[in-house]
Copies of this chain bind each other. A is one copy, B any other.
Amino acid sequence: MYAFDKVRDFTNDVFLKMGCSASDAELATKVLVSADLRGIDSHGVARLIGYVRLWENGRINPTPDIKLVHETPSTGVVDGDAGLGLVVAPKAMEIVIEKAKKVGSGWISVKNSNHYGIAGYHAMMALEHDMIGMSMTNASPLVAPTFSTERMLGTNPIAVAIPADNQPPFVADFATTTAANGKLEILQRKGEEAPLGWIQDKEGHQTTNPHELKEGGALLPLGGDREHGSHKGFCLGSIVDIFSAVFSGANYGPWAPPFVSFLPMPENPVGEGLGHFFGAMRIDGFRPAQEFKSHMDTWIERFREAKNADDMPEVVIPGDPERLSEVERLKNGIPLNDKVVIDLKEVAKKFNLSF
């Protein structure tokens, strides 16, 4: 276990060493370590070395000029100027919230960005304003469309955060694949097999070997195969890709610049950097806020008490496990596996820091 303060302060120091301003380093840190707090270990400090690698390759601009380059009262495009996605995303989300305050909803597509941490962080920024928040991003091409052997899409997550009254908010945050890449990385490290339906080998046959992904295989869209609806997962991943990158002028599909080190940069880019998409809708743009929130309480309470099957746990309200993790880890610290600790020590050495 590592104390949360130690993990947070080290991360902040690394972003400062990369040349970020104090306020940007603080923001990037807050977004990145929110993943560790919320129990999404694949997206927290485990990725810090990845951001350092992008920076070393000249793909991160530590002092970006993030700006709105096109807009209507409710929509627009933000150019991230190759800044850290961890900084670009919350700044774009602020614009979305301002637009929603004025005209009921706001929708921003972002180009020229890169990995933005957990989708849920940004969506949740809307909650304190009594708004529903939405966040999505395209990502390293690792996912094959139904029937295909080519890696054409990222795990392209979707997050939606919805405020309630006495109940905690509903927060969905999920990859549009059967399993996120982070889960596969855990199996790879442990030397365990994946369930059928998560990945295919380079010929397009389902496999349980998690290492096949690096050998030309692919992650599968949510659904797994055609018979179980993988064409729907493919639709979802495609919609995220188009909203994030075709709307904004970022790279889409197989041209998305990869975060993972085992993929080369695609040739002949069709846009600038990676893309995101954010939205916010004022709940009182639809009905009085208090009325909405008390019905959300009823919704959550009714689903919480839905009868579970005899051999199954209780129904999980989206956001509950992450919220409980946050309380527990703030108190007891962050578990980091050995591989992550080795990576962080390497980062520390590079920047003359200690971890």
Contact = CB atoms under 8 A, between A and B. Distances in A.
Contact of A299 (B242, B283, B298): B242
A298 B270 contact: yes
A156 B229 CA distance: 15
Contacts of A224: 224, 228
Given A231-B174, A247-B286, A287-B70, A309 B103 contact: no
Interface stretch (A30-38, A86-94, A314-322, A323-331): A314-322
Most central of A76, A149, A179, A303 by chain B CB within 10 Å: A303
Interface in A132-182: 144-150, 152, 160, 162, 170, 172, 174-179
A270 B295 contact: yes
B235 A74 contact: no
A132 to B, nearest CB: 8
Contact of A232 (B74, B170, B222, B282): B222
A286 B104 contact: no
Interface string A52-77: 00000000000000000011111111
A147 B314 contact: yes
A199 interface: no
Contact of A246 (B238, B299, B315): B299
B146 A75 contact: no
A253 B249 CA distance: 38
Contacts of A254: 302
Contacts of A345: none
Most B CB atoms within 10 A — which of A72, A74, A170?
A: A74
Given A178-B229, A222-B223, A233-B222, A246 B312 contact: no
B75 A281 contact: yes
Given A70-B286, A147-B316, A239-B172, A107 B109 contact: no
A4 interface: no
A108 B224 CA distance: 33
Contacts of A253: 299, 302-303
A285 interface: yes
Contacts of A281: 75, 107
Nearest to A249: B287
Contact of A109 (B71, B150, B286): B286
A307 interface: yes
A285 B72 contact: yes
Contacts of A285: 71-72, 74-76, 107
Task: Return the 6 tightest CB-CB contacts between A and B, nearest first.
Answer: A204-B309, A72-B104, A75-B285, A75-B104, A172-B235, A147-B312
14 contacts: A72-B105, A75-B105, A77-B286, A103-B103, A147-B312, A147-B313, A150-B306, A172-B235, A175-B232, A178-B228, A178-B229, A222-B223, A231-B318, A236-B236
Interface of A: 70-77, 103-105, 107, 109, 144-150, 152, 160, 162, 170, 172, 174-179, 195, 197-198, 200, 203-205, 222-224, 227-229, 231-236, 238-239, 241-242, 246-249, 252-254, 270-271, 281-283, 285-287, 291-292, 295-296, 298-299, 302-303, 306-316, 318
